[in-house]
Structure 1
């Protein structure tokens, strides 16, 4: 029997939770009155996080977690605080229920394991529960300790109990192992596009004592970093700003506001459509070429738009569409722009550090310190070909000229992030990334996975389209339980049943390939047959 423990998220899961709640706390333990619908919706339902155990599509067990006071125990024990042995961040665990046919299995322990994991993630210091007196022995075996008087009424008595991390560690070996894994993440491997795995050299650089942004050495070091970024990309200028990729694109949009003529924005995925949103928020005048996700935008289509609309004076596109891995041919688009008298701006947040860039003729390009550059998130980078013209109508934080005129330090800066990025770009190896990506793509295909695109897609983002009947959320949850972090929790990925392997940051081939084997093993173990997917 294959049991998956996860956080409830789907409508059908919540419907089964209400059914199980009724079966347990109306029919089995007479705590609530019967009703015709045979559903019991908890009064704290909207505030609960439900950990559920699923056997296929069936919810076999559940636990509800809630951290908002007052707890249900506050109503049963008015002086609750007087009983608590530990002060700190508490949560209340309620509605613990396992279907009768699953009570002789490991479902209960798997639920508790997921519960501990969630509590650790949320930094709760103690979990409270009203344990039915029928199962006190079981609760104590896990580590729950009783406190205070019994609550409830005849036939439905409950013992208030509490659980701390220390109690878990003293209880069973399975929870000891869990605590050790949660305290030490060395066995975990991340395929997230951010935050990416960090090399030890970068960690050490980040950990140095912070210095003032007016310190002479820091100013010189930032100047050296900007020069290095320009040499890497062929750009004339590079500004390094405290912020995210969203900020770097806002800075580009603010500059486009100063340009005459109309623009053209290309979009065939989440991040191309975000550029359209940036432009709309700045009330830019522009046209678009919009395609379905992962549908190619042909150069002939771009040429046609530029031919038919001579008022178009700038084109804005992502280099890599991070939602799919689709890679635009920037050099050919640049040639088209030069032919028709338009400037090209590029969102290179997911390609800088992953593929070689030639930004010599690009008007503006945005990037970030994380992702392909392999450092911590927190620095926005804007490359520009020309000197920036001033515009006093632009908000100070979005005025690129302020950064140019002040060596990227018009305001407070982060020496920690700067020194981390300065170290991380020394580690970039394009051939290594490309070689590893080819091996991973080939291995995924061998194991029956359907990977979007081919070798002409970004080596940094591999998007897997799971077949119908295999939930990307559940697959991602299973991989997470097995210490491999995939990108799958964004709404746009869940909607399309995609998961992503991002080969960004410090990726060691041995660990990468072991994690790919683990992914394939989950199919073999948790799905009864191997799937032969069509390659998209």
Structure 2
């Protein structure tokens, strides 16, 4: 397992020795010395990023923002802009491969982005020009240095990087609950020129999408709004009347409560436990006109038990945003079901849906955009590319793909357990998302960042996740069992390593996320 991090003082000796191995013994830029260590002349000004495996520094590079840069001191004129210089890129021989370089680059680009610079300046060895150009680096001056250690001054801007051939390699795969990993066909359709939203073709696509969604949900009327699931829930809140009951299991139950308060609804709240169960006697005692609940409480990764509502006679509203597409479920008992395009339906975010048992009647006292009776079929500007991509995504979302969520979740849980980390899972566990608690002495943010450097995006940045010190892994997009196996093993190994004591019996091995192999990668950024 490789961990990428900013170097500490205790790492400096290893950095000096790797610096010597690279820029004295392999690339002869400096004379040898008996100590076999090379302290960089800008050492006090450098920020070092290192890759560490089994306690050993196996990769490094230095970032420096202070002018003049080393290139400028050699007479090279730097293009106008706010730049940061990368130097001393070095990788030990057993780890020289694209995966190691990609992890280091992700960490460096993340650091550079936080500094709000225009881009990166390097001196790239002439022997690796193909590699640098693949990542978007562009020469801006003639080569410099002696023949045996010749370098090309190069820059990398954000736009050049994201348009480069290697951007797709470095871009972490999304294991988020949104935005999810979309298919190539969906991404391709989203990139096309939009058709007019009131054209016959757009109307035909909208009708087809809504019909497919109606069949999937089990309700005959589907209305499509531009926006997130929040807009869909606002539209439902505008249609509820009388005294209601809201089920609350966590963050997203709290959000339904906020929706209801904002429109002045009268309601009580029933607590749901962490296994998705609630007290049926409360429903009988309060006898509300309507019940509103999420199906999947995303913050916990659990399903709330909807079974008693199947035969209940009042109005039932279901927020199924994190449920639709992760399982086959018949919502025909409900009056309102909300969901969105950017989760397990595997499209880009931007479309919000309200499925209804009966046609929408006018609500003239609500915001015009939330009056679903106006959607006959297109009331306002609509995104034709999103609709067309939605049609593709629904064609791709076969029953086999829906079932695959359970397979991938099982793979993830097995990988965690096989690598020494037991996660308590209740029967109500969603196949689409799981919440993993990080030990209190560790940081969920640090683990989330390490996974991004390894090439996987998981959920950890939301305030409620930070407060709980948890990360979440989702199967909702175009993910694979291998991704789940790799991520589960890395999470387990990282936690094991961080919590290891002198009595522990050693670290775990994860071959797919950081073990040396035969892939070739040659270092070479000048010092």
Q: Following TM superposition, by how much is the alpha carbon of 1:476 offset from its aligned partner in structure 2, in angstroms?
A: 1.1
Q: Following TM superposition, by how much is the alpha carbon of 1:119 offset from its aligned partner in structure 2, in angstroms?
A: 3.1
In structure 1, what is the Cα distance between the partners aligned to 2:404 and 2:429? Answer: 16
TM-score normalised to structure 2 length? 0.68
Aligned ranges for residues 149-164 of structure 1 at < 5 Å? none
| More displaced 10-residue stretch of structure 1: 372-381 or 432-441 | 432-441
**Aligned-residue CA RMSD (Å):** 4.1
8 Å contact from structure 1 (residues 452, 464) kept in 2: no
Secondary structure in 1 aligned to 2:360?
A: coil
8 Å contact from structure 1 (residues 354, 504) kept in 2: yes
Q: Following TM superposition, by how much is the alpha carbon of 1:492 offset from its aligned partner in structure 2, in angstroms?
A: 1.0
Q: Deviations over 1:197-243 (max 9, x none)?
A: 11122223323331111111210121011011111111111111111
Partner of 1:433: 405
1:330 pairs with 2:306 = yes
Matching residue within 195, 202, 209 for 1:225: 209
Q: Deviations over 1:220-270 (max 9, x none)?
A: 1210110111111111111111111111111111111xx2x2010011111
Partner of 2:12: none
8 Å contact from structure 2 (residues 229, 340) kept in 1: yes
Distance 1:123 1:217, change over 3 A: farther
Matching residue within 195, 200, 219 for 1:216: 200
Aligned ranges for residues 304-315 of structure 1 at < 5 Å? 304-310=281-287, 312-315=288-291
8 Å contact from structure 1 (residues 126, 165) kept in 2: no
Partner of 1:500: 472
Matching residue within 296, 303, 317 for 1:320: 296
Q: Following TM superposition, by how much is the alpha carbon of 1:436 offset from its aligned partner in structure 2, in angstroms?
A: 2.0
Choose between structure 1 and 2 for higher RCO, CA contacts under 8 A separated by at least 6 residues.
2
Q: Following TM superposition, by how much is the alpha carbon of 1:438 offset from its aligned partner in structure 2, in angstroms?
A: 1.8
1:276 pairs with 2:257 = yes
Partner of 1:43: none
Matching residue within 110, 113, 116 for 2:109: 116
8 Å contact from structure 1 (residues 452, 462) kept in 2: no
Distance 1:6 1:252, change over 3 A: farther
In structure 2, what is the Cα distance between the partners aligned to 1:167 and 1:116? Answer: 19
Unaligned runs of 5+ in 2: 9-46, 56-60, 68-75, 87-102, 126-135, 141-150, 507-527
TM-score normalised to structure 1 length? 0.67
Partner of 1:369: 341
Partner of 2:364: 392
Matching residue within 239, 257, 277 for 1:298: 277
Matching residue within 487, 496, 514 for 2:486: 514
Pairs aligned (count): 412
Distance 1:438 1:113, change over 3 A: closer
Unaligned runs of 5+ in 1: 8-12, 14-49, 66-71, 74-82, 97-109, 129-138, 143-163
Q: Following TM superposition, by how much is the alpha carbon of 1:166 offset from its aligned partner in structure 2, in angstroms?
A: 3.9
Partner of 1:266: 247
Distance 1:245 1:528, change over 3 A: same
1:413 pairs with 2:382 = yes
8 Å contact from structure 2 (residues 227, 350) kept in 1: yes
8 Å contact from structure 2 (residues 292, 317) kept in 1: yes
Matching residue within 461, 464, 468 for 1:489: 461
Q: Following TM superposition, by how much is the alpha carbon of 1:434 offset from its aligned partner in structure 2, in angstroms?
A: 1.6
Distance 1:123 1:215, change over 3 A: farther
Q: Following TM superposition, by how much is the alpha carbon of 1:333 offset from its aligned partner in structure 2, in angstroms?
A: 2.7
